[in-house]
Amino acid sequence: MSVPGRRIRLDLAYDGTDFAGWQVQPGQRTVQGTVEEALSRLGGGVAIAARGAGRTDAGVHARQQVADAWIASRLDDDGLIAALAAIFPPDLRPRAVRTVPADFHARKAAVSKTYRYRLDRSRCGDPLRSRYALHHPYPIDRGAVDEALRWVAGRKDFAGFAGSASVVKTTVRTLSEARYEEAEHDEGVFTFTADGFLNHMVRNLVGTLLEVGRGRFSKARIAEILDSRDRTRAGPTAPAHGLCLDRIIYRGKLLSWPATEGP
Amino acid sequence: MSVPGRRIRLDLAYDGTDFAGWQVQPGQRTVQGTVEEALSRLGGGVAIAARGAGRTDAGVHARQQVADAWIASRLDDDGLIAALAAIFPPDLRPRAVRTVPADFHARKAAVSKTYRYRLDRSRCGDPLRSRYALHHPYPIDRGAVDEALRWVAGRKDFAGFAGSASVVKTTVRTLSEARYEEAEHDEGVFTFTADGFLNHMVRNLVGTLLEVGRGRFSKARIAEILDSRDRTRAGPTAPAHGLCLDRIIYRGKLLSWPATEGP
Protein backbone atom coordinates (compact mmCIF):
# COMPACT_ATOMS: atom_id res chain seq x y z
CA MET A 1 0.00 0.00 0.00
CA SER A 2 1.41 3.38 -0.91
CA VAL A 3 1.42 6.16 1.65
CA PRO A 4 -0.58 9.25 0.61
CA GLY A 5 1.51 12.37 0.12
CA ARG A 6 0.91 15.70 1.85
CA ARG A 7 2.42 19.16 1.94
CA ILE A 8 4.19 20.16 5.14
CA ARG A 9 5.37 23.47 6.40
CA LEU A 10 8.69 23.18 8.21
CA ASP A 11 9.96 25.92 10.53
CA LEU A 12 13.71 25.90 11.03
CA ALA A 13 16.48 27.64 12.95
CA TYR A 14 20.13 27.52 12.03
CA ASP A 15 23.56 28.83 12.86
CA GLY A 16 24.71 29.89 9.40
CA THR A 17 28.43 29.94 10.25
CA ASP A 18 29.21 26.59 8.65
CA PHE A 19 26.61 26.64 5.85
CA ALA A 20 27.19 27.96 2.34
CA GLY A 21 23.80 29.64 2.61
CA TRP A 22 20.28 28.33 2.03
CA GLN A 23 20.33 27.42 -1.63
CA VAL A 24 21.59 24.05 -2.91
CA GLN A 25 24.98 24.28 -4.58
CA PRO A 26 26.90 21.26 -5.85
CA GLY A 27 29.61 20.11 -3.47
CA GLN A 28 28.65 22.64 -0.77
CA ARG A 29 27.03 22.17 2.64
CA THR A 30 23.81 24.15 2.33
CA VAL A 31 20.70 24.37 4.52
CA GLN A 32 18.36 23.46 1.68
CA GLY A 33 20.53 20.49 0.73
CA THR A 34 20.63 19.26 4.33
CA VAL A 35 16.84 19.62 4.68
CA GLU A 36 16.11 17.89 1.37
CA GLU A 37 18.42 15.00 2.22
CA ALA A 38 16.71 14.45 5.58
CA LEU A 39 13.20 14.67 4.08
CA SER A 40 14.17 12.26 1.31
CA ARG A 41 15.28 9.74 3.91
CA LEU A 42 11.95 10.07 5.71
CA GLY A 43 10.00 10.00 2.45
CA GLY A 44 11.18 6.58 1.38
CA GLY A 45 14.24 7.63 -0.56
CA VAL A 46 12.57 9.65 -3.32
CA ALA A 47 14.07 13.06 -4.04
CA ILE A 48 12.15 15.78 -2.16
CA ALA A 49 12.38 19.48 -2.97
CA ALA A 50 12.15 22.00 -0.11
CA ARG A 51 11.14 25.54 -1.04
CA GLY A 52 12.42 28.17 1.38
CA ALA A 53 10.74 31.48 2.22
CA GLY A 54 14.04 33.34 1.92
CA ARG A 55 17.43 32.54 0.43
CA THR A 56 19.84 33.44 3.19
CA ASP A 57 23.45 34.01 2.15
CA ALA A 58 26.44 32.02 3.36
CA GLY A 59 27.04 32.80 7.03
CA VAL A 60 23.61 34.34 7.66
CA HIS A 61 21.65 32.84 10.57
CA ALA A 62 17.96 32.09 10.98
CA ARG A 63 15.86 32.09 14.09
CA GLN A 64 12.82 31.32 11.93
CA GLN A 65 13.17 30.15 8.37
CA VAL A 66 10.16 28.47 6.74
CA ALA A 67 10.18 25.83 4.01
CA ASP A 68 7.50 23.69 2.42
CA ALA A 69 7.81 20.25 0.88
CA TRP A 70 5.64 17.45 -0.46
CA ILE A 71 6.25 14.23 1.40
CA ALA A 72 4.75 10.75 1.60
CA SER A 73 5.39 9.44 5.09
CA ARG A 74 3.54 7.33 7.64
CA LEU A 75 4.80 9.70 10.35
CA ASP A 76 2.39 12.37 11.54
CA ASP A 77 3.62 15.95 12.09
CA ASP A 78 4.82 15.17 15.58
CA GLY A 79 6.64 12.07 14.39
CA LEU A 80 8.25 14.04 11.58
CA ILE A 81 9.63 16.75 13.86
CA ALA A 82 11.08 14.13 16.21
CA ALA A 83 12.67 12.29 13.26
CA LEU A 84 14.08 15.53 11.78
CA ALA A 85 15.49 16.53 15.20
CA ALA A 86 17.33 13.20 15.24
CA ILE A 87 18.63 13.46 11.65
CA PHE A 88 19.56 17.16 11.45
CA PRO A 89 23.02 18.29 12.63
CA PRO A 90 23.34 20.46 15.79
CA ASP A 91 23.58 23.71 13.82
CA LEU A 92 20.24 23.11 12.06
CA ARG A 93 17.15 22.44 14.16
CA PRO A 94 13.49 21.92 13.34
CA ARG A 95 11.15 24.23 15.26
CA ALA A 96 7.77 23.09 13.99
CA VAL A 97 6.17 20.79 11.44
CA ARG A 98 2.58 21.08 10.31
CA THR A 99 0.48 19.74 7.46
CA VAL A 100 -0.71 22.59 5.24
CA PRO A 101 -2.99 22.91 2.19
CA ALA A 102 -1.44 21.33 -0.92
CA ASP A 103 -1.02 24.73 -2.58
CA PHE A 104 0.90 26.34 0.31
CA HIS A 105 4.09 28.00 -0.89
CA ALA A 106 6.54 29.14 1.80
CA ARG A 107 7.81 32.16 -0.12
CA LYS A 108 4.69 33.24 -1.99
CA ALA A 109 2.40 32.89 1.03
CA ALA A 110 4.67 34.95 3.30
CA VAL A 111 3.16 38.33 4.17
CA SER A 112 6.33 39.73 5.67
CA LYS A 113 9.81 38.81 6.79
CA THR A 114 11.86 40.38 9.56
CA TYR A 115 15.63 40.46 9.52
CA ARG A 116 17.76 41.68 12.39
CA TYR A 117 21.35 42.85 12.14
CA ARG A 118 23.23 42.82 15.44
CA LEU A 119 26.18 44.97 16.46
CA ASP A 120 28.61 44.40 19.31
CA ARG A 121 29.69 47.93 20.23
CA SER A 122 32.09 46.96 23.02
CA ARG A 123 35.61 48.28 22.68
CA CYS A 124 37.47 44.99 22.30
CA GLY A 125 34.65 42.65 21.25
CA ASP A 126 32.49 40.27 23.26
CA PRO A 127 33.63 36.66 22.72
CA LEU A 128 30.14 35.40 23.64
CA ARG A 129 28.58 37.28 20.72
CA SER A 130 31.29 37.11 18.06
CA ARG A 131 29.43 34.52 15.97
CA TYR A 132 26.19 36.53 15.83
CA ALA A 133 27.08 40.21 15.90
CA LEU A 134 29.38 42.52 13.97
CA HIS A 135 32.05 44.03 16.19
CA HIS A 136 31.61 47.76 15.55
CA PRO A 137 33.36 49.81 18.26
CA TYR A 138 32.71 53.15 16.56
CA PRO A 139 30.45 56.05 17.42
CA ILE A 140 26.90 55.90 16.06
CA ASP A 141 25.08 59.20 15.61
CA ARG A 142 21.60 57.96 16.46
CA GLY A 143 19.87 61.10 15.24
CA ALA A 144 21.45 60.74 11.80
CA VAL A 145 20.75 57.00 11.65
CA ASP A 146 17.12 57.46 12.71
CA GLU A 147 16.63 60.11 10.04
CA ALA A 148 18.22 57.87 7.40
CA LEU A 149 15.95 55.01 8.51
CA ARG A 150 12.90 57.22 7.99
CA TRP A 151 14.09 57.76 4.42
CA VAL A 152 14.23 54.05 3.61
CA ALA A 153 10.93 53.11 5.25
CA GLY A 154 7.87 52.72 3.05
CA ARG A 155 7.34 51.65 -0.54
CA LYS A 156 10.59 52.42 -2.37
CA ASP A 157 12.73 51.26 -5.26
CA PHE A 158 15.70 49.57 -3.58
CA ALA A 159 17.76 48.98 -6.74
CA GLY A 160 20.58 51.04 -5.21
CA PHE A 161 20.81 48.57 -2.34
CA ALA A 162 20.49 45.35 -4.38
CA GLY A 163 23.38 42.97 -4.92
CA SER A 164 24.59 42.72 -8.49
CA ALA A 165 23.41 39.10 -8.78
CA SER A 166 19.74 40.11 -8.46
CA VAL A 167 17.46 38.94 -11.27
CA VAL A 168 14.03 40.13 -10.25
CA LYS A 169 11.00 41.56 -12.00
CA THR A 170 10.87 44.62 -9.81
CA THR A 171 13.20 46.20 -7.27
CA VAL A 172 10.33 47.95 -5.48
CA ARG A 173 9.72 46.70 -1.94
CA THR A 174 7.69 47.95 1.02
CA LEU A 175 9.73 48.33 4.18
CA SER A 176 7.10 48.42 6.94
CA GLU A 177 9.66 48.55 9.75
CA ALA A 178 13.15 50.03 9.77
CA ARG A 179 14.67 50.85 13.14
CA TYR A 180 17.82 50.90 15.19
CA GLU A 181 17.91 50.26 18.93
CA GLU A 182 20.61 49.99 21.56
CA ALA A 183 20.46 47.67 24.55
CA GLU A 184 22.59 46.72 27.52
CA HIS A 185 26.00 45.11 27.04
CA ASP A 186 26.84 47.51 24.20
CA GLU A 187 24.38 45.86 21.86
CA GLY A 188 23.00 47.60 18.77
CA VAL A 189 20.25 46.06 16.64
CA PHE A 190 18.81 47.02 13.26
CA THR A 191 15.36 45.59 12.50
CA PHE A 192 13.90 45.50 9.00
CA THR A 193 10.49 44.11 8.09
CA ALA A 194 9.30 44.02 4.48
CA ASP A 195 7.10 42.13 2.07
CA GLY A 196 10.30 40.90 0.48
CA PHE A 197 14.00 41.66 0.30
CA LEU A 198 16.39 41.94 -2.62
CA ASN A 199 19.68 40.06 -2.67
CA HIS A 200 22.09 41.65 -0.12
CA MET A 201 19.56 44.40 0.58
CA VAL A 202 19.76 44.32 4.38
CA ARG A 203 23.54 44.04 4.44
CA ASN A 204 23.88 46.93 1.99
CA LEU A 205 21.44 49.04 4.02
CA VAL A 206 23.35 48.31 7.23
CA GLY A 207 26.74 48.99 5.62
CA THR A 208 25.43 52.34 4.43
CA LEU A 209 23.72 53.24 7.72
CA LEU A 210 26.92 52.54 9.66
CA GLU A 211 28.74 55.03 7.41
CA VAL A 212 25.98 57.56 8.14
CA GLY A 213 26.31 56.78 11.87
CA ARG A 214 30.07 57.43 11.79
CA GLY A 215 29.58 60.68 9.92
CA ARG A 216 31.35 59.48 6.79
CA PHE A 217 28.13 59.71 4.74
CA SER A 218 25.63 62.53 5.09
CA LYS A 219 22.06 61.72 6.09
CA ALA A 220 20.96 62.70 2.57
CA ARG A 221 23.12 59.98 1.07
CA ILE A 222 20.37 57.40 1.61
CA ALA A 223 17.94 59.45 -0.49
CA GLU A 224 20.59 59.91 -3.17
CA ILE A 225 21.18 56.15 -3.39
CA LEU A 226 17.44 55.47 -3.57
CA ASP A 227 16.88 58.15 -6.24
CA SER A 228 19.92 57.27 -8.35
CA ARG A 229 19.33 53.49 -8.06
CA ASP A 230 23.14 53.36 -8.17
CA ARG A 231 24.64 50.58 -6.06
CA THR A 232 28.13 52.09 -6.30
CA ARG A 233 26.98 55.01 -4.15
CA ALA A 234 25.96 52.75 -1.23
CA GLY A 235 28.25 51.75 1.61
CA PRO A 236 30.06 48.42 1.86
CA THR A 237 28.03 45.23 2.25
CA ALA A 238 28.01 44.51 6.00
CA PRO A 239 29.45 41.06 6.91
CA ALA A 240 27.04 38.11 6.86
CA HIS A 241 27.50 36.90 10.45
CA GLY A 242 25.64 39.87 12.02
CA LEU A 243 22.48 39.07 10.05
CA CYS A 244 19.64 36.82 11.16
CA LEU A 245 16.30 35.98 9.55
CA ASP A 246 14.22 36.42 12.68
CA ARG A 247 10.56 36.03 11.77
CA ILE A 248 8.21 35.28 8.89
CA ILE A 249 4.54 36.15 9.06
CA TYR A 250 1.81 34.26 7.17
CA ARG A 251 -1.79 35.15 6.68
CA GLY A 252 -4.46 33.11 8.40
CA LYS A 253 -4.94 31.55 11.76
CA LEU A 254 -3.97 28.03 10.73
CA LEU A 255 -0.55 29.18 9.60
CA SER A 256 0.28 31.37 12.55
CA TRP A 257 3.28 30.63 14.69
CA PRO A 258 3.76 28.45 16.73
CA ALA A 259 1.64 25.34 16.16
CA THR A 260 3.20 21.97 16.97
CA GLU A 261 6.22 23.60 18.53
CA GLY A 262 7.20 22.25 21.95
CA PRO A 263 8.15 21.97 24.72
CA MET B 1 66.39 52.87 33.01
CA SER B 2 64.06 50.32 34.49
CA VAL B 3 60.32 50.79 34.21
CA PRO B 4 58.53 51.01 37.58
CA GLY B 5 56.12 48.17 38.28
CA ARG B 6 52.46 48.59 39.13
CA ARG B 7 49.48 46.40 39.94
CA ILE B 8 46.72 46.29 37.34
CA ARG B 9 43.21 45.00 37.50
CA LEU B 10 42.21 43.27 34.28
CA ASP B 11 38.55 42.61 33.41
CA LEU B 12 38.04 39.80 30.93
CA ALA B 13 35.35 37.99 28.97
CA TYR B 14 35.73 34.58 27.39
CA ASP B 15 33.97 31.82 25.56
CA GLY B 16 34.99 28.85 27.67
CA THR B 17 34.24 26.22 25.01
CA ASP B 18 37.84 25.73 23.94
CA PHE B 19 39.57 26.45 27.26
CA ALA B 20 40.46 23.83 29.89
CA GLY B 21 39.15 26.27 32.51
CA TRP B 22 40.78 29.23 34.24
CA GLN B 23 43.62 27.62 36.12
CA VAL B 24 47.02 26.92 34.56
CA GLN B 25 47.56 23.24 33.80
CA PRO B 26 50.65 21.91 32.02
CA GLY B 27 50.04 21.20 28.35
CA GLN B 28 46.50 22.61 28.42
CA ARG B 29 45.03 25.77 26.89
CA THR B 30 43.79 27.69 29.92
CA VAL B 31 42.56 31.25 30.39
CA GLN B 32 45.08 32.02 33.14
CA GLY B 33 47.91 30.60 31.02
CA THR B 34 46.87 32.68 28.00
CA VAL B 35 46.60 35.84 30.12
CA GLU B 36 49.97 35.29 31.83
CA GLU B 37 51.70 34.64 28.51
CA ALA B 38 50.34 37.89 27.04
CA LEU B 39 51.24 39.94 30.13
CA SER B 40 54.74 38.46 30.18
CA ARG B 41 55.23 39.56 26.58
CA LEU B 42 54.15 43.09 27.49
CA GLY B 43 56.19 43.08 30.69
CA GLY B 44 59.53 42.57 29.01
CA GLY B 45 59.59 38.79 29.05
CA VAL B 46 59.61 38.21 32.81
CA ALA B 47 57.14 35.63 34.13
CA ILE B 48 53.96 37.36 35.36
CA ALA B 49 51.37 35.72 37.60
CA ALA B 50 47.70 36.61 37.12
CA ARG B 51 45.39 35.97 40.07
CA GLY B 52 41.78 35.37 39.07
CA ALA B 53 38.71 36.21 41.14
CA GLY B 54 37.14 32.84 40.39
CA ARG B 55 38.42 29.56 38.99
CA THR B 56 35.96 28.71 36.28
CA ASP B 57 35.85 25.06 35.16
CA ALA B 58 36.60 23.80 31.68
CA GLY B 59 33.81 24.91 29.33
CA VAL B 60 32.42 27.61 31.66
CA HIS B 61 32.10 31.09 30.14
CA ALA B 62 32.72 34.53 31.61
CA ARG B 63 31.09 37.81 30.78
CA GLN B 64 33.15 39.42 33.55
CA GLN B 65 36.12 37.69 35.08
CA VAL B 66 38.62 39.81 37.02
CA ALA B 67 42.34 39.19 37.47
CA ASP B 68 45.16 41.19 38.98
CA ALA B 69 48.84 41.17 38.09
CA TRP B 70 52.04 43.06 38.80
CA ILE B 71 53.56 44.42 35.63
CA ALA B 72 56.39 46.74 34.63
CA SER B 73 55.44 48.34 31.35
CA ARG B 74 55.81 51.71 29.68
CA LEU B 75 52.25 51.38 28.38
CA ASP B 76 49.54 53.19 30.30
CA ASP B 77 46.21 51.44 31.04
CA ASP B 78 44.78 52.43 27.69
CA GLY B 79 47.88 51.21 25.87
CA LEU B 80 47.77 47.92 27.76
CA ILE B 81 44.16 47.17 26.85
CA ALA B 82 44.87 47.89 23.18
CA ALA B 83 47.94 45.64 23.28
CA LEU B 84 46.07 42.84 25.04
CA ALA B 85 43.21 43.11 22.52
CA ALA B 86 45.78 42.58 19.77
CA ILE B 87 47.54 39.65 21.49
CA PHE B 88 44.57 37.74 22.93
CA PRO B 89 42.76 35.17 20.76
CA PRO B 90 39.16 35.86 19.59
CA ASP B 91 37.60 33.75 22.36
CA LEU B 92 39.31 35.78 25.12
CA ARG B 93 38.85 39.55 25.18
CA PRO B 94 39.99 42.28 27.56
CA ARG B 95 37.15 44.49 28.80
CA ALA B 96 39.03 46.95 31.01
CA VAL B 97 42.46 47.62 32.42
CA ARG B 98 43.12 49.94 35.35
CA THR B 99 45.98 50.59 37.74
CA VAL B 100 44.99 49.64 41.29
CA PRO B 101 46.61 49.88 44.74
CA ALA B 102 49.57 47.51 45.08
CA ASP B 103 47.72 45.36 47.62
CA PHE B 104 44.63 44.78 45.45
CA HIS B 105 43.75 41.07 45.23
CA ALA B 106 41.12 40.11 42.64
CA ARG B 107 39.67 37.25 44.67
CA LYS B 108 40.05 38.57 48.22
CA ALA B 109 38.74 42.04 47.38
CA ALA B 110 35.62 40.73 45.64
CA VAL B 111 32.47 41.43 47.62
CA SER B 112 30.25 39.18 45.54
CA LYS B 113 30.15 37.17 42.35
CA THR B 114 27.15 36.44 40.17
CA TYR B 115 26.85 33.31 38.08
CA ARG B 116 24.08 32.67 35.58
CA TYR B 117 23.03 29.28 34.29
CA ARG B 118 21.05 29.40 31.05
CA LEU B 119 18.51 26.88 29.77
CA ASP B 120 17.19 26.50 26.26
CA ARG B 121 13.72 25.07 26.80
CA SER B 122 12.76 24.78 23.12
CA ARG B 123 11.65 21.35 21.99
CA CYS B 124 14.45 20.57 19.54
CA GLY B 125 17.14 23.01 20.67
CA ASP B 126 18.07 26.48 19.40
CA PRO B 127 21.26 26.31 17.30
CA LEU B 128 21.98 29.97 18.06
CA ARG B 129 22.23 29.26 21.79
CA SER B 130 23.71 25.75 21.88
CA ARG B 131 27.15 26.98 23.01
CA TYR B 132 25.79 28.97 25.96
CA ALA B 133 22.67 27.24 27.24
CA LEU B 134 21.73 23.73 28.33
CA HIS B 135 19.04 22.23 26.13
CA HIS B 136 16.40 21.20 28.65
CA PRO B 137 13.05 20.54 26.91
CA TYR B 138 11.34 19.27 30.05
CA PRO B 139 8.61 20.71 32.24
CA ILE B 140 9.76 22.97 35.07
CA ASP B 141 7.43 23.31 38.05
CA ARG B 142 8.17 26.93 38.88
CA GLY B 143 6.43 26.84 42.23
CA ALA B 144 8.57 23.93 43.39
CA VAL B 145 11.77 25.48 42.01
CA ASP B 146 11.02 28.84 43.63
CA GLU B 147 10.41 27.17 46.97
CA ALA B 148 13.65 25.17 46.66
CA LEU B 149 15.51 28.39 45.80
CA ARG B 150 14.19 30.00 48.98
CA TRP B 151 15.71 27.08 50.90
CA VAL B 152 19.21 27.61 49.49
CA ALA B 153 19.25 31.40 49.87
CA GLY B 154 21.01 32.91 52.86
CA ARG B 155 23.97 31.84 54.95
CA LYS B 156 24.19 28.06 54.67
CA ASP B 157 26.64 25.18 54.72
CA PHE B 158 26.87 24.08 51.10
CA ALA B 159 29.04 20.98 51.68
CA GLY B 160 26.29 18.86 50.11
CA PHE B 161 26.65 20.82 46.86
CA ALA B 162 30.47 20.97 46.75
CA GLY B 163 32.54 19.00 44.26
CA SER B 164 34.72 16.30 45.77
CA ALA B 165 37.92 18.16 44.83
CA SER B 166 37.16 21.02 47.23
CA VAL B 167 39.87 21.81 49.76
CA VAL B 168 38.53 24.80 51.67
CA LYS B 169 38.56 25.98 55.27
CA THR B 170 34.81 26.30 55.44
CA THR B 171 31.90 25.24 53.26
CA VAL B 172 29.65 27.99 54.61
CA ARG B 173 28.68 30.62 52.03
CA THR B 174 26.09 33.39 51.89
CA LEU B 175 23.85 33.21 48.85
CA SER B 176 22.35 36.71 48.62
CA GLU B 177 20.49 36.01 45.37
CA ALA B 178 19.03 32.74 44.11
CA ARG B 179 16.34 32.96 41.46
CA TYR B 180 14.93 31.40 38.35
CA GLU B 181 13.30 33.37 35.55
CA GLU B 182 11.84 32.57 32.16
CA ALA B 183 12.04 34.85 29.15
CA GLU B 184 10.97 34.86 25.50
CA HIS B 185 12.35 32.31 23.06
CA ASP B 186 11.97 29.51 25.64
CA GLU B 187 14.82 30.81 27.75
CA GLY B 188 15.24 29.89 31.41
CA VAL B 189 17.91 31.51 33.60
CA PHE B 190 19.14 30.72 37.09
CA THR B 191 20.97 33.56 38.85
CA PHE B 192 23.15 33.03 41.92
CA THR B 193 25.02 35.75 43.77
CA ALA B 194 27.23 34.93 46.76
CA ASP B 195 30.30 36.08 48.65
CA GLY B 196 32.00 33.00 47.24
CA PHE B 197 31.24 29.68 45.61
CA LEU B 198 32.53 26.17 46.26
CA ASN B 199 33.88 24.00 43.48
CA HIS B 200 30.98 22.85 41.22
CA MET B 201 28.48 24.50 43.60
CA VAL B 202 26.36 26.26 40.97
CA ARG B 203 26.30 23.28 38.63
CA ASN B 204 25.32 20.95 41.48
CA LEU B 205 22.59 23.35 42.61
CA VAL B 206 21.24 23.61 39.04
CA GLY B 207 21.38 19.84 38.50
CA THR B 208 19.40 19.36 41.70
CA LEU B 209 16.90 22.15 40.98
CA LEU B 210 16.16 20.71 37.54
CA GLU B 211 15.29 17.40 39.20
CA VAL B 212 12.97 19.28 41.57
CA GLY B 213 11.46 21.11 38.58
CA ARG B 214 10.73 17.82 36.80
CA GLY B 215 9.18 16.35 39.93
CA ARG B 216 11.84 13.67 40.34
CA PHE B 217 13.02 15.20 43.63
CA SER B 218 10.67 16.63 46.24
CA LYS B 219 11.01 20.27 47.23
CA ALA B 220 12.28 19.13 50.63
CA ARG B 221 15.23 17.37 49.01
CA ILE B 222 17.20 20.64 48.96
CA ALA B 223 16.89 20.98 52.73
CA GLU B 224 17.88 17.33 53.18
CA ILE B 225 21.04 17.82 51.10
CA LEU B 226 21.94 20.98 53.03
CA ASP B 227 21.30 19.34 56.41
CA SER B 228 23.04 16.05 55.61
CA ARG B 229 26.01 17.76 53.87
CA ASP B 230 25.93 14.61 51.70
CA ARG B 231 26.90 15.24 48.08
CA THR B 232 25.58 11.84 46.99
CA ARG B 233 22.03 13.01 47.72
CA ALA B 234 22.27 15.96 45.29
CA GLY B 235 21.32 15.81 41.61
CA PRO B 236 23.78 15.39 38.75
CA THR B 237 26.30 18.17 38.08
CA ALA B 238 24.75 20.27 35.28
CA PRO B 239 26.95 20.54 32.15
CA ALA B 240 29.57 23.31 32.08
CA HIS B 241 28.47 25.09 28.90
CA GLY B 242 25.27 26.55 30.43
CA LEU B 243 27.25 28.37 33.12
CA CYS B 244 28.64 31.89 32.89
CA LEU B 245 30.46 34.06 35.43
CA ASP B 246 28.45 37.21 34.81
CA ARG B 247 29.53 39.85 37.29
CA ILE B 248 31.94 40.54 40.15
CA ILE B 249 31.37 43.38 42.58
CA TYR B 250 34.16 45.20 44.42
CA ARG B 251 33.93 47.65 47.24
CA GLY B 252 34.81 51.27 46.65
CA LYS B 253 34.26 53.79 43.94
CA LEU B 254 37.68 53.42 42.31
CA LEU B 255 37.11 49.75 41.68
CA SER B 256 33.58 49.99 40.36
CA TRP B 257 32.74 48.82 36.89
CA PRO B 258 33.38 50.04 34.22
CA ALA B 259 36.39 52.34 34.22
CA THR B 260 38.56 52.42 31.10
CA GLU B 261 36.11 50.28 29.19
CA GLY B 262 35.18 51.61 25.75
CA PRO B 263 33.85 52.40 23.28
Active-site residue, from B11, B15, B18, B57: B57
CB-CB under 8 Å, A81 with B128: no
- d(CA B67, nearest CA chain A) in Å: 17
Mutation target for A interface from B63, B81, B118, B123: give the one with most A CBs within 10 A: B123
- B-side interface with A, Cβ within 8 Å? 13-15, 61, 63, 81, 84-85, 90-95, 121-128, 130-132, 137-139, 185-186, 244, 261-263
- A-side interface with B, Cβ within 8 Å? 13-15, 61, 63, 81, 84-85, 90-95, 121-128, 130-132, 137-139, 185-186, 244, 261-263
Q: Which pLDDT belongs to residue A261?
A: 41
Nearest residue of chain A to residue B125 (CA atoms): A93
pLDDT at A259 over 50: no
Task: With beta carbons under 8 A apart, name residues in chain A contacting B90.
Answer: 125, 127, 130
What is the pLDDT confidence band of residue A260, given thresholds at 50, 70 and 90?
very low
Give the mean pLDDT of A73-78.
96
Nearest residue of chain A to residue B132 (CA atoms): A128
Torsion of CA A141, A216, A180, B11, to 10 degrees: -70
Task: With beta carbons under 8 A apart, name residues in chain A contacting B258.
Answer: none
Task: With beta carbons under 8 A apart, name residues in chain B contacting A259.
Answer: none
Model confidence pLDDT, tens digit, residues A161-196:
998 766 778 999 999 999 999 998 899 999 999 999
What whole-number distance in Å separates Cα of residue A30 and Cα of residue A38? 12
Q: Which of B231, B226, B151, B228 is nearest to B199 (CA)?
A: B231
Q: What is the pTM of this model?
A: 0.90
Q: Which pLDDT belongs to residue A59?
A: 97
- d(CA A255, nearest CA chain B) in Å: 19
- d(CA A231, nearest CA chain B) in Å: 31
Task: With beta carbons under 8 A apart, name residues in chain B contacting A127.
Answer: 13-15, 90-93
Active-site residue, from A11, A15, A57, A77: A57
What is the pLDDT confidence band of residue A129, given thresholds at 50, 70 and 90?
very high
- d(CA A257, nearest CA chain B) in Å: 12
* A82 HSE (CA, 13 A, CB side): 7
Of B93, B132, B139, the CB nearest to A124: B93
Q: Where are the alpha helices (DSSP H) in chain B?
A: 31-42, 77-87, 142-152, 201-213, 221-228
Of A14, A122, A185, the CB nearest to B263: A122
Nearest residue of chain B to residue A81 (CA atoms): B124
Model confidence pLDDT, tens digit, residues A131-140:
999 999 999 9
Q: Which of B178, B181, B186, B184 is nearest to B142 (CA)?
A: B181
CB-CB under 8 Å, B262 with A137: yes
A181, containing H or E segment: strand A172-183
What is the pLDDT confidence band of residue A263, given thresholds at 50, 70 and 90?
very low
What is the pLDDT confidence band of residue A253, given thresholds at 50, 70 and 90?
low
What whole-number distance in Å separates Cα of residue B228 and Cα of residue B80? 49
Q: Which pLDDT belongs to residue A1?
A: 59
Sign of torsion over alpha carbons B78, B81, B85, B87: positive
* B66 HSE (CA, 13 A, CB side): 25
3-state secondary structure (DSSP) of residue A195? coil
pLDDT at A219 over 90: no
pLDDT by position in tens, chain B (length 263): 578 899 999 999 999 999 999 999 999 999 999 999 999 999 988 999 999 999 999 999 999 999 999 999 999 999 999 999 999 999 999 999 999 999 999 999 999 999 999 999 999 999 999 999 999 999 999 999 999 999 999 999 999 999 876 677 899 999 999 999 999 889 999 999 999 999 999 999 999 999 999 999 998 899 999 999 988 899 999 999 999 999 999 987 545 444 444 33
- d(CA A92, nearest CA chain B) in Å: 6
CB-CB under 8 Å, B263 with A137: yes
- d(CA B52, nearest CA chain A) in Å: 18
CB-CB under 8 Å, A261 with B127: no
C-alpha distances in angstroms, B248 versus A202, B160, B171, B188, B204?
A: 38, 25, 20, 22, 21
Q: Which pLDDT belongs to residue B169?
A: 85
Is A57 among the residues known to form the active site?
Answer: yes
Task: With beta carbons under 8 A apart, name residues in chain B contacting A61.
Answer: 128
Q: Cis omega before residue B258 (within 30°)?
A: yes
